[in-house]
Chain A
Amino acid sequence: MGFGRYVTARVLWAGVVSLIITTITFLLVSAAPNPSVQEAATQAALQGGDPAEAAERARELRGLDQPLYVRYMDFIESVYTFDWGWSRSRSQPVTEALGQGLYYTAQYSVPWTVLTVLIGPLVGVYSAANMYSWKDHAATGFAFFGYAIPNFFFGIILLLIFGVWLEVIPVVYNTDVAVFSAQNAVQLSIPVFVLVTGSIGGIMRVSRNESAEFQNAEFMKTAKAKGVSPIRAYAYHVMRPTLVPLSTTLVGQLLALFLGSSLLVEVVFGIPGIGRVTYNALIAQDTNLLLGSTLAFTFIAVIGNLLEDLVFTVLDPRISYDDR
């Protein structure tokens, strides 16, 4: 299989996965009674009307009286044309609400991802180079600490220390601050620190264990014998092969964390990002918005996995497409 065919197959597969998840979402939602229909019935009953009739009218209005497959086709069409409906609780289109959320989410996600991807492998390789020294033990301890401490718990502790006692950061995220300002950097530093601590542990462990294998490889001995400087030797001969196995798990790990943590961290720090939009939609019983954010997260995950696979094959020429 050539590269072109592999990419095509992989992209098609991503499409299939997103379609399947969308279908399951549709089935879940359509199997349950629609809250807005019930609402209409309750309202009619309160105002002395006929609840059954009102429910019927509400169903008709929303096209729920049509057969399942027609509704399914409609649903799929509107999902893939980004016609995601109207958010009741926020009185704006769902896509707009999600866009606004994403704007705030990106402000802390981008530095978080960049820091994790930069620091994680570096510290991992460094601690492999100094294996079983106190530096290695300190790094390992930190990795386990970050891995084990629940993000939201760590978040509220730090918020208590820096927000309430020291008053360095505002207790609730201030949205009036410009994106690229010192103030914004300060108030985002704690959420970013919490997220980096949580995500860096796994990457440090993997890169430490993987690079340990290359420490004493023949090519490292050759490089050392030739008098290559340690930094250059580690950068070219250890870091590169380490990054290959790392990149297979990296995106998946980060995405899994992103789904869970964005929700928690945004609720703890009061950042009005996409996780909070989801949470508020759930609390406010806003079906359209909740569906929209579910789909948004799903698409982010599917596209992330797709990119990971493609980048992986480009990075490592040793992998043949037939094996995958």
Chain B
Amino acid sequence: MATQKPERFDQVDWAEISRSRWFDLSINSIGMLATALPLLIVALYDWQILDERTPTLEPVGPAWDVGTVDYLFIFTLLLFAFYIVLPLFQNPRRTKYYWREFKRNRPAVVSLGWLAVVFVGGIFGPFFISAPEQSILTGYQPPVFLSVEQSYVSTCVGDIVGGQCQGTWQHPLGTTAGGKDVFAGIVHGMTISMQIGFITTTIVATVGITFGTVSAYAGGWVDELMMRFVDIVLSFPTLLMFLLILYIYGAGLGMFILVFAAFAWGGTARYVRSKSLSISEEEFIKANRISGASTYRVVRRHVVPNAASSIITQLTLLIPGFLLAEAQLAFLGLGDSTIPSWGQLISAGRSDLSFAPWIVLAPGMVLFLTILAFNFLGDALLDALNPEAEAENA
């Protein structure tokens, strides 16, 4: 890397360093507060004032009843925008460096593209494509360019050529037995998958980082106790516990997210703890401390950024696990049947696989590609964000 520009020390962000009082907020925090507070107010209004049946946005127009999961999702999206996306713009030089490193991994770039499609589709898709609706008459419509024997469909939307019902652009990926449009189902499933991914990630990262740093800085028997607790969390059979909770209390998507996130942060906590311990021995932390930095500042400015690459990689590799678990539960008929997730679609088409394979194949492939993309991305991020790993490979 001889062509790389040398590091520059002549530009110091004094505002960032001198910002010591808590009310002197960065632009990111101001943005976060300015958007999260109205959200909180709407949520409180929805919870306390509006009665159960009235959709949240009815006074304004659209009949979208915002649920608990939706509020959490919007909140995590705001966090993502202000603390991950915005800093990338604020620091273009570093962003360019990451991008250059990242770009070398072709599959990862493709993966990122696919995940961007899922992300955009999940957030904006539901506003343009209405939720799939039951209509028994138009069940088993084949995907466009394909055809199915006429006897399987009661009403063919497209043309009938030689006893074969042809697919139409009206249902680009066909319909299920109940006449639900598969494409619309997949787009709405993207929202569910994004919700699962974002909310669990936020919970896991918050709990893991807090637990890890507290454990490392507390030391002694507190540390020992906390790490033993992590052992228990890690050896917990999450899926079984979820089945038990589901059996006794019943569970929707919110409960699923909560239970799976509650048992997934163990690895992150362990990693952050060991990183905090090793980094607190470094010279620059000592210098930092002598200059009067508080423990919070050391953790926030040095421990977390140094551990970030591994945390992000770990989280990227955790998300597919959650998506898979949701799909598995939905497939078993134990998921939240009120949500149009990919797993629900797969399980809906399972009995018709022999003549209507698109119902299973389309969402199954989307699920497969998404999990694959997360894995490639995790692999590439590990290389891009961690200069030490690269040095070892070279």
Taking the closest CB of chain B, its distance from the CB of A138, in whole angstroms, is 14
A95 at the interface (CB under 8 A from B): no
Q: Complex formed: what's the CA distance from A147 to B317 in Å?
A: 11
Q: Is the CB of A267 within 8 A of B354?
A: no
A144-B375, A302-B235 are known; give 20 further A-B pairs, CB within 8 A. Answer: A29-B244, A29-B248, A147-B371, A147-B372, A147-B375, A148-B368, A148-B375, A150-B327, A150-B371, A152-B331, A153-B327, A260-B324, A263-B239, A264-B328, A267-B332, A282-B246, A290-B247, A294-B243, A298-B237, A298-B240
Q: Is the CB of B331 within 8 A of A264?
A: yes
B216 at the interface (CB under 8 A from A): no
- Which B residues from 331 to 375 make CB contacts under 8 A with A? 331-332, 334, 346, 350, 353-354, 357, 360-361, 364, 367-368, 371-372, 375
Interface majority SS (helix, strand, loop, mixed), chain B: helix
| Residue count of chain A within 8 Å CB distance of chain B | 42
Complex A-B: 27 CB contacts under 8 Å = A17-B232, A17-B235, A21-B232, A25-B241, A29-B244, A29-B248, A144-B372, A144-B375, A144-B376, A145-B372, A148-B320, A148-B372, A150-B327, A150-B328, A150-B367, A150-B371, A153-B327, A153-B367, A259-B239, A260-B328, A263-B332, A279-B332, A287-B247, A290-B247, A297-B237, A301-B235, A305-B235
**Contact surface of B with A, Cβ cutoff 8 Å:** 228, 231-232, 234-237, 239-241, 243-249, 320, 324-325, 327-328, 331-332, 334, 346, 350, 353-354, 357, 360-361, 364, 367-368, 371-372, 375-376
Q: CB < 8 Å: which of A31, A264, A301, A302 contacts B332? A: A264
- By a CB distance below 8 angstroms, the chain A residues around B360 are 153, 156-157
Q: Complex formed: what's the CA distance from A290 to B248 in Å?
A: 11
Q: Complex formed: what's the CA distance from A17 to B266 in Å?
A: 15
Q: Is the CB of A282 within 8 A of B243?
A: yes
Q: Is the CB of B240 within 8 A of A294?
A: yes
- By a CB distance below 8 angstroms, the chain B residues around A263 are 239, 328, 332
Taking the closest CB of chain A, its distance from the CB of B329, in whole angstroms, is 10
Taking the closest CB of chain A, its distance from the CB of B334, in whole angstroms, is 7
A149 at the interface (CB under 8 A from B): yes
Q: Is the CB of A294 within 8 A of B368?
A: no
- By a CB distance below 8 angstroms, the chain B residues around A13 are 228, 231
A119 at the interface (CB under 8 A from B): no
A182 at the interface (CB under 8 A from B): no
Q: B-facing mask of A280-321, CB < 8 A → 1, else 0?
A: 001001010011011001100110010000000000000000
- By a CB distance below 8 angstroms, the chain B residues around A252 are 234
- By a CB distance below 8 angstroms, the chain A residues around B234 are 252
Q: A148-B375, A152-B328 are in contact. Are A28 and B245 (CB under 8 A)?
A: yes
Q: A147-B375, A149-B368, A264-B332 are in contact. Are A297 and B235 (CB under 8 A)?
A: no
Q: Complex formed: what's the CA distance from A147 to B350 in Å?
A: 22
Q: Complex formed: what's the CA distance from A76 to B65 in Å?
A: 45
Taking the closest CB of chain B, its distance from the CB of A118, in whole angstroms, is 24
